[in-house]
Amino acid sequence: MRAIVWMVLAAFLNTTVAPAAVAAALPSPAAPTPSAAAPRPSASAAAPPPLPPIPLTTDLPSALESQLPGLGSPASAALPFHEQYQIGYEMMLQLRAQHRLLQDPEVEEYLNSIGRRLAAQSHLGAATFHYLCINTPVVNSEAALGHFVFINSGLILFTDTESQLAAVMAHETAHEVQNHIARKILNAQHANIDSLAGMFAAILLGVAGGGGGQAIAGGVVASQGLAQQEQIDYSRSVEEEADRVGLELMAAAGFDPEGMPQMFEKLMRLQGLQGAWVPAVLIGHPMTAARIAYSEAHAAQYPPVPDVSSPDYYIIKARIRVITARPGQHVERYYARRIAAGMHSIGTEYGYALALMRNDQARRAVPILTRLLQEHSELHLLYSALGQAQARAGHMRQALATFAQAKRLFPLNVPVTVRYAQTLMLAGKYARAHRMLNSLFNVVEPTLSEIRLTARAAGAAGDLGGAYSDMGQYQLAVGNLPLAAKQFEIALTMPNLNNVQRARISAQLKQVRNYLAILRAHKD
């Protein structure tokens, strides 16, 4: 299965490298892949079927109504969606194991709100899409199998407007909507599996590891023949199609389609500034004047849309700048200089407050965030930041009051709930934090980090049965079935379980054991 994972992911790209140069750098797989089928843990190891599509939110033409060729049948038959999902999920686990993902609730929520708003305009709907942020200054983005889209933190900071960011995300979403990756597999079946696997490993290390163009260029130099003219032509047609469908998704979702040619022009200028070195984003997304002209012509066909970025966009950009800053970058000084120069935007003020908190100066951050919240009481991101600042400043009663108000206003908001639960745990209110997290994640899909947080809250509250059960869910989500079974077995020995908990854990354990038996039977 591992060989298939790397082969399939590699087949989407245009060049290949010898695997020996990068094999040693890849982490050893930590667990079997069959159970790594769904981000939301369940007792079943198989991937869930796609959920019904979300209706269009506008009456503009959607990708479903486009005059596009019939693309789904051959590729979908060759690689069913549940298998694509397993592979995309595996890629996510690999990046997580390398500590490459930016696991921040606020950033994750924002990217998924933009991405799923775009995906909702397609015939697939938004339910199966997942947007994640890779923590690297490299300007790049990638679509993977199974409706996983990875956006680099450096690319988010590179954009000037929300529509420019939406343009990149729409382009990558269009690759998923049009099933481009599976189509590329069919087009490259003659390629050597080992060279494809090695090539993807090199690209992955270059994109996620911060190696940038140098790491990718090294892979290109070692190409073993996939960059033939037919492959190049195929890639150009795929990129044009993704541009066209991406523009449709943008327009239908209410973003300014002009954001796409604007972003392309920025990338073209980046290419010119870098000289002989090709930026990472342009390796897989080649930029030409013709492509910019093409996007400009198609964007002009849609009604004008005011290019007004949301406050969340500026807040998230500031947040990424602060939390990804390396020691010695003095991000606090960056924002202090901007404020001294009269730049008092919400992003600048929020960034300065966050930088102060990072430098253990939460007391100075509290009045800044209090003023911002008075001016923008509708922004949940400000409630979370203020509550955290108050807690770090030693004002726990005020912090809990801020979070309680936020929870009333935004009852199912993940960042608010997670930050509230973390603050409750700091205050020693573990049982309340565990109940709150359980209540949310019964209806909202948790990340792996959020599953672990729930388990820690249960353990700290003395609910050992709940803690072992939650850790069983975590091991199930990362694909470690034997350890998941062990956690469920221990949970059942705990005396504090009620009948409902015991029945649920027993059913989960039974299904995991059944799946392990199937795996052993196939192995024999």
Is the pLDDT confidence value at 44 over 50?
A: no
Is the pLDDT confidence value at 317 over 70?
A: yes
Domain ranges of the chain: 2-24+73-299
What are φ and ψ of residue 188, in 5° steps? Answer: -120, 30
Least confident of 125-134, 356-365, 473-482: 473-482
What is residue 470's three-state secondary structure?
helix
pLDDT band at 186 (very low <50, low <70, confident <90, very high): low
Question: What is the percentage of the chain residues whose pLDDT exceeds 70?
Answer: 72
> In this predicted structure, what is the pLDDT of residue 297?
92
More confident residue, 5 or 344: 344
Cα distance between residue 333 and residue 340, in whole Å: 10
Is the pLDDT confidence value at 134 over 70?
A: yes
Least confident of 137-146, 232-241, 463-472: 232-241
Is the pLDDT confidence value at 384 over 90?
A: yes
| Mean pLDDT value across the chain | 78
The amino acid at 454: T
More confident residue, 452 or 86: 452
- Alpha carbon 364 to its chain centroid, in Å, reads 32
If phi > 0 it is left, if psi is from -120 to 50 it is alpha, else beta; for residue 179 that is left
- The 10s digit of each residue's pLDDT in 1-26 is 333 333 333 333 332 322 222 222 22
Q: Which of 149-158, 215-224, 259-268 has the highest mean pLDDT?
A: 149-158
Work out the average pLDDT over 323-345.
93
Cα distance between residue 366 and residue 388, in whole Å: 9
Work out the average pLDDT over 249-268.
94
Is the pLDDT confidence value at 300 over 80?
A: yes
pLDDT band at 67 (very low <50, low <70, confident <90, very high): very low
> In this predicted structure, what is the pLDDT of residue 370?
98
- Whole-angstrom CA distances from 180 to 12, 184, 398 are 8, 6, 51
Cβ neighbour number for residue 204 with a 10 Å cutoff = 27
What H or E segment, with its residue span, contains residue 149? strand 148-152
The amino acid at 258: E
Cα distance between residue 232 and residue 417, in whole Å: 47
Cβ burial, residue 227 (10 Å; 0-12/13-18/19+): middle
The two tokens of residue 457 are 């809250």
Is the pLDDT confidence value at 470 over 50?
A: yes
> In this predicted structure, what is the pLDDT of residue 285?
58
Q: Which residues of 268-305 are buried (b: 16+ CB within 10 A; e: fewer)?
A: bebbeeeeeebbbbbbbbbbeeebbebbbebbeebeeb
Q: What is the pTM of this model?
A: 0.79
> In this predicted structure, what is the pLDDT of residue 144?
87
Least confident of 26-30, 216-220, 470-474, 496-500: 26-30
> In this predicted structure, what is the pLDDT of residue 185?
67
The amino acid at 298: H
pLDDT band at 169 (very low <50, low <70, confident <90, very high): very high
Work out the average pLDDT over 280-297.
72
More confident residue, 185 or 12: 185
> In this predicted structure, what is the pLDDT of residue 53?
32
> In this predicted structure, what is the pLDDT of residue 60?
35
Work out the average pLDDT over 324-353.
94
Q: Which residue has the tokens 């000084």?
A: 333
More confident residue, 3 or 259: 259
- The 10s digit of each residue's pLDDT in 509-518 is 999 999 899 8
> In this predicted structure, what is the pLDDT of residue 519?
83
